[in-house]
Amino acid sequence: MILRNAWLQRLLGGGAAERLGIRMASLLEYASLRAHKDPDVLQHIRRSRWKRKTLVTFNEAYMVNSLAASVAGMPGDLAEVGVYEGSTARLLCEQKGDAALHLFDTFEGLPAGVLKSEQVMYRPHQYSCSLESVQEFLSDFADVHFYKGYFPDSAASLPAGRRFSFVHFDVDLYQSTLDCLKFFYPQMLPSGIMLSHDYSILEGVRQAFTEFLTDKPENLIELPTTQCMLVKR
């Protein structure tokens, strides 16, 4: 429960202390996974994290990679909202095969106007990384499309009729999470997966899922990481 403390989140969020905590947790997780997971898969995940700041632990990156791989062969596109420096986007690039990948981010960090209840935890432009930097990092991959701006307005240029097999949310805020759910839910293929970071530690993310699922047939799946997921019926 300590990671859900708003004061601690504001104190550590976005700075060297948060990155150090993620790095230390990831080293322990990697050591544990080496005992029973495919070393080639682990090295593949490590490569996605080299030379980039990341907000996901190694176990969380493993979940992104594994779930994206599980939809391989489905006809839909993949998407990520909240790209930061692109470490998880690179995992999606390497798992997507011939599918298109759509990446949405302000590329200027978190917005200045957040809900009052969330202002305790965040600073404007926290977690910023330039579009050009991420494009360079992912330049080896084809059919990757970038959408700069505030979601869902940034999705206005998304081609009509796209269907999705996998979507990853890492947006931190209540309204942003709710906007993601409202936008992608009707466009998910049956058995498509929506995965979100920070469900168990950020109240706004948890609240958005709770409200959205009130009248939906799907049940939320909470993972042992901070993540949660939905499988579209």
Containing 222, the helix (H) or strand (E) segment is strand 221-222
pLDDT for residue 7 is more than 50: no
Q: What is the mean pLDDT of the chain?
A: 89
**Nearest in space to 23 (alpha carbons), one of 58, 64, 47, 60:** 58
Domain that holds residue 6: 2-231
**Nearest in space to 185 (alpha carbons), one of 141, 152, 222:** 152
Mean pLDDT value across residues 132-160: 96
Residues 227, 67 contacting (CB under 8 angstroms) = no
Tens of pLDDT, residues 48-58: 988 788 989 99
List of E strands, 106-184: 144-148, 164-169
Predicted structure pTM score: 0.90
pLDDT for residue 67 is more than 70: yes
pLDDT for residue 197 is more than 80: yes
pLDDT for residue 2 is more than 50: no
Domain count of the fold of the chain: 1
Mean pLDDT value across residues 11-16: 55
What does the pLDDT read at residue 144? 98
What are the beta bridge partners of residue 196? Answer: 169, 228
What are the beta bridge partners of residue 80? Answer: 103, 168
The least confident of 33-47, 61-75, 84-98, 109-123 is 109-123
Summarize the chain as % helix, strand, coil (round to 5): 45, 15, 40
What CATH number is given to the structural domain containing 21? 3.40.50.150
